[in-house]
A and B are shown apart, each in its own frame.
Chain A
């Protein structure tokens, strides 16, 4: 299959339109080269357009991303459920390959421990001078409630995930990699943490919407 993909990379002819069934039949058939070549071209075009806004050097990787995606697509044809055009499904896989890798590179040098250590050393910070004294008191109450819940009721892993993803903006997939889990499991871990925080805030008579509204007015 890899040699067929490599030969697909040098293919230059105009692509023929295919139905989903035709794509699947050709890719599974004895002569998949033409379909592979067309799909490769399509992925390269989509990747170039979608990654245009990214930093320099991405263009040079587009061929690698398309090739890796092509291998994944061909080995996972059985998971295509036919709920979209085949080409849309294939492009989705290509975008996932490319963006996962680009993010991995961008966050390569950031360690989770450094983020957590830095966080432990930060103070509460100065209050916005535009807030009224009542709003500052209210803000302090909310902060104390949140801090208490985070310290006492979240698990260590939930706490790490909240800090890394919600507060420090680390991509979920990257935080997951560092925590030895996967993106889906980490999203669920964060969901449980958010639900716990919401419950405790509501129990303390604090509605997150009201808190946000209060400070947006400040």
Chain B
């Protein structure tokens, strides 16, 4: 049964839903390029909006992306 605590979680997930979204595989395929665009100082969200959108919604992919940024920074 849904509780009141669930409501916000569910609403957030539903509110951000778009008709067309890319999946985890496509996001992962483009993640290295997206990271380099961001690292170069360009607005990666504008250049690759679908990847940006997926990373906002998918915690699994977002975590990998954050780790990748740190790894790139480590040289």
Contact = CB atoms under 8 A, between A and B. Distances in A.
A195 B23 CA distance: 14
A120 B21 CA distance: 30
Chain B interface secondary structure, helix, strand, loop or mixed?
helix
Contacts of A35: none
Nearest to A207: B15
A51 B8 CA distance: 30
Contacts of B10: 146, 162, 166-167, 197
Contact of B70 (A50, A84, A103, A169): A50
Nearest to B12: A212
Contact of B73 (A49, A139, A212): A49
Contacts of B66: 50
B68 A195 contact: no
A176 to B, nearest CB: 9
Interface string A198-217: 10010000001101100100
B73 A191 contact: no
Nearest to A185: B23
Nearest to A98: B67
A50 B11 contact: no
Size category, A interface: 35 or more
B12 to A, nearest CB: 7
A125 B24 contact: no
A46 B3 contact: no
B72 A184 contact: no
Contacts of A60: none
A120 B1 CA distance: 5
A172 B15 contact: no
B64 interface: yes
Interface string A17-55: 000000000000000000000000010011111111000
Given A50-B74, A94-B71, A95-B64, A123 B3 contact: yes
Given A45-B75, A46-B72, A124-B2, 20 more contacts: A45-B71, A45-B74, A46-B70, A50-B71, A84-B33, A85-B32, A92-B32, A94-B71, A103-B60, A124-B3, A128-B4, A142-B7, A146-B7, A166-B13, A171-B60, A187-B23, A197-B10, A201-B14, A211-B11, A212-B15
Interface of B: 1-15, 17, 19, 21, 23-25, 28, 30-33, 35-36, 58-60, 63-64, 66-68, 70-75
23 contacts: A42-B75, A45-B71, A45-B74, A46-B74, A48-B74, A49-B73, A50-B71, A84-B33, A88-B35, A88-B68, A92-B64, A94-B71, A95-B67, A99-B67, A122-B1, A124-B4, A127-B4, A143-B7, A166-B9, A166-B10, A171-B60, A172-B59, A211-B7
